[in-house]
Amino acid sequence: MHTRITLALVVCLVLAGCTAPLTDGSPLDDGLGQAEDEDRIGWENGYAHDDSLDIDQSDGLNESEREAFVARTMARVEKVRGLEFEEPVPVEVITREEYRQQSGGERNAEYEAWNNQVWESLLLVGEDRNVSDVMDSVYGGSVLGYYSPSEDRIVIVSDSETPVIDRTTLAHELVHALQDQHFGLEGTPSTQDGQLARNGIVEGDARYTETLYERRCGTEWECVPRPSSGGGGGGDSGAPGVFLTIYTPYADGPQFVHTLHQEGGWEAVNAAYEDKPQSTEQVIHPEKYPDERPENVSVEDRSAAEWSRFDTRPTADTVGEASLYAMFWQNGYIEQESLRDSPDEYSPYNYSHPATEGWAGDAVVPYEGDDGEYGYVFQSEWDTEKDAREFADAYRATLTDRLDAERVDDSVYRVPDDSSFGDAFRVTQDGTTVTIVNAPTTEQLDDVHSED
C-alpha cells in the first residue's frame, strides 16, 4: 500500500451463489415479480432488506451463509443510502497475517527519503525511523477490510481462526463499492492533504451510512451479531500522531457528510463527488466548503549548489490543517484529552485548535545534500497575521519545550543530536507567511534556503 495514504485500496480503519435463501419465510413478493424486485432499492440477489437470516458465526461462515449475509447487507445499504447496486460485489475473507503478507510491496528508496522529510517536518517521525515502516505497522494492525476499485471486490480481514464478518465493516466496504459503481473511485490527489480531503467525502460517506445502518439494528432490523474479536486501534507504530492524521477522514468525514445531508439530502452528498473537498480544512470546518479553497504555495529555490530538490513528482507536498493538528497533539502542545472534546454528533474527535485554525495553504519541499544529508523548507500561508503568529509560536514552543531545542538567536533553534529530530531549525514569520527551514547544522540553514 502506498505509504502516503494513497488509496490504491480504499481501506476501513476502525478505532476501535445462494441456492436457498436463509430466511424465516419466502422472499417478499408484492406482485411485481422477482426480476423487477431485484432492480429496486432494498432488494438484492433474492433478499429484501427486512428479511431475517439464521446465521451463527461461532463456527465461521459457510459459503451459503456468506452469500446470504452479503446480499441482505447490500439491500440494507441501498435502503439507507438511496442508491442501487449496479452489479454484484465479490467478498473475500482473509486472516490478518495474510493481509500483512499481501500489503507488502516494492519500495522506492528515493521516494522514501523524500517522504521521511515530509513527516519529519511535522515532528511526527524522526530520523531514526522510516515512515514506510511506521505506516506498515499502523495499517497492519488497524485495517478491518478494504474495497479495491481496480479489482471490484471487497476483502474482509478477520482476526478469528474461522472466517467471520463484522456487519459494520461489511456495510462500510459495500458503501465503497456503491460509490465506485456510481461515482468512480480511481485516481487520487498528489498531496497528503489532498488525499485526506478526498477521503473526507469517500470515508465520511461510508462511516455516516454505516452509522445510520447500525442505528436500525435492534430496532427496525434484526441484525447478525457482531463477532467478539476484531482488529482496530492504531497498531504498535509508536507514532500516534501518524495514526491520528490518517484517521481524519473517518473521524471528521461523517460530520462533513452529515452537514451536506442536512442541507440538501443525499443529492447534496452525491454532488460532492463531482466537487470534492480540496483540503482537510474544509472537512474539519464544513462551513468552509466549497468556497474557501486552499492557496497554492510555491517555495522559491534558494539552495546552494551542493543542495538539491528530490527528483520526485511533485517535488513539494502539502500537509494541511489535520496533519498540523496531529503534530501539536502528539508533541503535547495540544492537551491529549482535548481531542475527544468534539461538539459534533458524528465526529468522535475534535481537530480544531487556535494554533492550526486559519490555515490557508502550505508546501513542504525536501532537500538532499551531496554528502547524503537531508533538510527541508516548510512554508505555510495563513488567513491573518495573528493566525500565522499563533502557528509559529506553537512550532517554536514545540521545539523548545518538547524537543529540548536551544535557542541560538531570534529565529534559529538547535535540537540536540541525541534526539531523533537532532537538527537546526529557522522559524520566521513575514506577514501571513511562516517559513521553517531545517538543516543538519545551523551553518547549513542558508545552504538549504538562504534568507536573501
The whole-angstrom separation of Cα 123 and Cα 389 is 19
The whole-angstrom separation of Cα 194 and Cα 196 is 5
Closest listed residue to residue 389, CA positions, set 350, 432, 351: 432
- DSSP code at position 295: P
Whether the CB-CB separation of 356 and 338 falls below 8 Å is answered with no
Is residue 3 domain-resident?
no
Whether the CB-CB separation of 75 and 42 falls below 8 Å is answered with yes
Question: In 3-state terms, what secondary structure has residue 228?
Answer: coil
| Consecutive H or E run containing 287 | none
The whole-angstrom separation of Cα 159 and Cα 354 is 40
Cα within 13 Å of Cα(406), Cβ side:
9
Question: 301: alpha, beta or left, given left = phi > 0 and alpha = psi -120 to 50?
Answer: beta
Length of the chain: 452
Q: Rounded mean pLDDT of 42-71?
A: 93
Shared domain for 402 and 324, answered yes or no, is yes
| Consecutive H or E run containing 360 | strand 359-369
What strands, in cross-sheet order, belong to the sheet with 374-382?
Answer: 307-309, 359-369, 374-382, 433-439, 424-430, 412-414, 406-407
Shared domain for 88 and 231, answered yes or no, is yes
Question: Looking at the predicted structure, is the pLDDT value of residue 7 above 80?
Answer: no
At residue 349's C-alpha, the angle toward residues 324 and 146, to 5°, is: 90
Shared domain for 237 and 325, answered yes or no, is no
Model pLDDT for residues 359-401, shown as the tens digit of each residue: 999 999 999 999 999 999 999 999 999 999 999 999 999 999 9
Provide the pLDDT for residue 214.
Answer: 97
Closest listed residue to residue 284, CA positions, set 330, 321, 241: 321
Shared domain for 303 and 334, answered yes or no, is yes
A 10 A CB-CB count for 372 gives 7
Provide the pLDDT for residue 87.
Answer: 94
Question: Looking at the predicted structure, is the pLDDT value of residue 12 above 80?
Answer: no
Cell of 446: 542558508
Shared domain for 281 and 294, answered yes or no, is no
Shared domain for 161 and 102, answered yes or no, is yes
Query: Which structural domain, as residue segments, surrounds residue 391?
Result: 290-448
Domain total in the chain: 2
Shared domain for 316 and 405, answered yes or no, is yes
Shared domain for 393 and 298, answered yes or no, is yes
Provide the pLDDT for residue 30.
Answer: 33
Model pLDDT for residues 148-183, shown as the tens digit of each residue: 999 999 999 988 878 899 999 999 999 999 999 999
The answer for residues whose C-beta is within 8 angstroms of residue 106's C-beta and 6 or more apart is none
Shared domain for 86 and 125, answered yes or no, is yes
The whole-angstrom separation of Cα 158 and Cα 160 is 5
- DSSP code at position 383: S
Q: Rounded mean pLDDT of 425-429?
A: 98
Residue finishing a domain among 262, 286, 310: 286
The whole-angstrom separation of Cα 282 and Cα 293 is 8
The whole-angstrom separation of Cα 233 and Cα 251 is 13
